[in-house]
Amino acid sequence: MSGGASIQGWTPKFRLPSSETRPGVTISTFLQILGLIYCIAFTSFGVQSPGLIGSRGILPFPEYLDALRAAMGRAAWREAPSLLWFHPTDRALAAVWILGAVCSLLAIFAPYLSSAIPLRLRLSASQAQRLSLAGCLILWISLCSVGQDFLSFQWDILLSEAGFLAIFADASRVRVWLFRWLLFRLMFFSGVLKLLSGDPTWRDLTALHYHYETQPLPNPVSWYIYQQPLWMAKAETLFTFVAELGVPFLYFGPRRARRVAAWITAALQFLILATGNFAFFNFLAIALCFWLTVEPERGPHPTPHKIVSVALALFIGVSSALVSLEQLTLPLPPGGAAILHAIDPFRIVNGYGLFQVMTTDRPEILVEGSNGADHWQAYEFRYKPGDLRRAPAVIEPAQPRLDWQMWFAALGTYQTNRWFVSFMLRLLQGEPAVLRLVQYNPFPAAPPKYVRARLFLYHFTSWGGRDWWWREERGTYFPAVSLK
């Protein structure tokens, strides 16, 4: 690769290349960044996986696969396409995410390693990167298929779809437009579904005022920006609608319009990134903006290349149209439901739309244990709000997935969050893999005899106090139980 891919230490620069940048350099840089995001995704989930879906975790994946097989027989693999069917053990789970991290590193460093490969086996840098990313995709889908509640976030499926397109990435017109179409769907439908949801906070432009306080894992900047005047929050909400509803149409315009659109889209992602913790989502969305700066090549391509491009365009076009109709609750054409059912488990064409309905309150679950009837001690989670004096953390691009699920659980009941009951059972059993997911275990010597959970409403404090939060109790979330 020529010297266009910039690396400082281990981290590529996240910058939008100028319109004069050669397509080959831009695409290679994008593939390196995608490799880095894959590496973050694999390692972040991997170190948590024993406590989340390991054989002694909250939602053991071997039991999940057994249940699928019992219910569906040989067709079960289509509902959960995963290499882990061949050997559903903790060692295999570790092997999948470690191998995924290795493949992602190969995608990052392939441009510098290709010359070291024997000549008769040598691939071009682009071929080596795409081959490595194909491995990443297979291994990532294998994890997502068994991750259940813990690998069901929109950035997880966005990584799968971007990773699928990356296998075919080059500067031909069709393939460049497919990446732009992905970015368009990501942004435009996020805006459309906010309006169609009927949520009053989006319509009166107060949504972001609530968002800074009630988002799953705020950071310290969230507290400060929450203190701003309401009119500023309304202006930021209006900017969000402009960036999501108007700007995406510029993705298909002339070069100058696309460059403006790229900067506006990136600016929105930087705003989200600076005021919250959304794993690798914002980094991946910014990386997709690279495709707005690539000028498609107009030269002739070999016939096999053209056939693949046409087939890819037809597949993405039809699938994304069906997904869009389903998102908008419009009737599907005959056979549409069957097509969606067939492609859905592979997560390579998806629907998007973050925060369609804004939460205006922040319920939080306080989990406690006890060895007696009246002395309860609280478990402290690593990153979600708990201790009123503890500052919100900066954790992105990693994702503490148990902390995230605790936010969703607080919005419902334990009856609708089956994993929460299993989590409480693991606390009573003192399961080490699960306890490593929390910051503070008040029972280090032996597990408690009883556990329970209470519900609180958390609020940001105002200027002048020593605490970051204040809270008010709202009752019992999970009754006191014991193993007996």
Query: CA-CA distance, 219 to 482, in Å (whole number)?
Result: 35
- The tens digit of pLDDT for each residue in 288-299 reads 999 999 999 888
The yes-or-no verdict on residue 26 having pLDDT over 50 is yes
pLDDT reading at 15 higher than 70: no
Mean pLDDT of 323-327: 95
Q: Is the dihedral of CA 104, 108, 111, 117 positive or negative?
A: negative
Average pLDDT of the chain? 92
Domain boundaries, the chain: 9-152, 173-360, 363-481
DSSP string computed for 376-439: EEE-EESSSS-STTSPPP--TTS--HHHHHHHHHHTS-GGG-HHHHHHHHHHHHT-HHHHTTEE
For 59, the token pair is: 């939602």
Say which residue, 7 or 432, is predicted with more confidence.
432
For 254-296, the pLDDT digits (tens) are 999 999 999 999 999 999 999 999 999 999 999 999 999 999 9
Quick one: pLDDT at residue 108? 96
Exposed e or buried b per residue across 264-286, where buried means at least 16 C-beta atoms within 10 angstroms of its C-beta: bbbebbebbbebbbbbbbbbbbb
At residue 244 the predicted structure's pLDDT band, cuts being 50, 70 and 90, is very high
pLDDT of 189-204, one tens digit each? 999 999 999 999 999 9
Q: Is residue 364 within a helix (H) or strand (E), and if so which, with residue range?
A: strand 363-370
Residue 433 has pLDDT above 80, yes or no: yes
Q: How far apart are the C-alpha atoms of 89 and 55, rounded to whole Å? A: 7
Task: Report the share of the chain in percent with pLDDT over 90.
Answer: 87
DSSP for residue 277: -
- % of the chain beyond a pLDDT of 70: 93
Q: Each residue of 58-91: pLDDT tens digit? A: 999 999 999 999 999 999 999 999 999 999 999 9
pLDDT at 122: 63
- Least reliable range by pLDDT among 128-132, 334-338, 371-375, 472-476: 371-375
Q: Give the whole-angstrom CA distance, residue 276 versus residue 255.
A: 32
Q: Measuring CA to CA, how many Å separate 195 from each of 187, 191, 320, 331? A: 13, 7, 20, 20
Between CA 355 and CA 353 the distance in angstroms is 7
Q: At residue 383, what is the residue type? A: Y
Of 298-307, 358-367, 376-385, 448-457, which gets the smallest average pLDDT? 298-307
Backbone angles phi, psi at 403, to 5 degrees: -60, -40
| Apex 138 CA angle, 137 and 140, nearest 5 | 60
116 pLDDT tier (thresholds 50, 70, 90)? low
What average pLDDT score do residues 170-194 get?
Answer: 97
User: One-letter amino acid identity for 388?
Assistant: L
Structure tokens at 391: 């500052």
Note the pLDDT tens digit of each residue in 39-65: 999 999 999 999 999 999 999 999 999
